[in-house]
Chain A
Amino acid sequence: EIVLTQSPGTLSSSPGDSVTLSCRASHNVARNFLAWYQQKPGQAPKLLLYSTSTRATGVPARFRASGSGTDFSLTIDGLEPEDLADYYCQQYASYPATFGQGTKVEIK
Chain B
Amino acid sequence: EVFLVESGGGLVQPGGSLRLSCEDSGFTFDATWMSWLRQVPGQGLEWVADISPDGNTAFYLDSVDGRFTVARDNAKRSLSLQMNGLRVDDSAIYYCARGLIVVISPMSNYWEEWGRGTLVTVSS
Please report A residues at the B interface, Cβ cutoff 8 Å: 30-31, 33, 35, 37, 39, 43-47, 50, 56-57, 88, 90, 92-102
Contacts and interface: CB of A to CB of B under 8 A. Distances in A.
B114 A45 contact: yes
User: Per DSSP, are chain B's interface residues mostly helix, strand or loop, or mixed?
Assistant: loop
Nearest to B114: A44
B111 A95 contact: no
A98 B47 contact: yes
A95 B48 CA distance: 11
Interface string B70-112: 0000000000000000000000000100000000001111111
B44 A90 contact: no
B103 to A, nearest CB: 9
Given A88-B44, A101-B44, A102-B44, A95 B114 contact: no
A50 B110 CA distance: 8
B64 to A, nearest CB: 11
B44 A47 contact: no
A93 B106 contact: yes
A45 B45 contact: yes
Nearest to B115: A44
Given A44-B95, A101-B44, A102-B44, A96 B111 contact: no
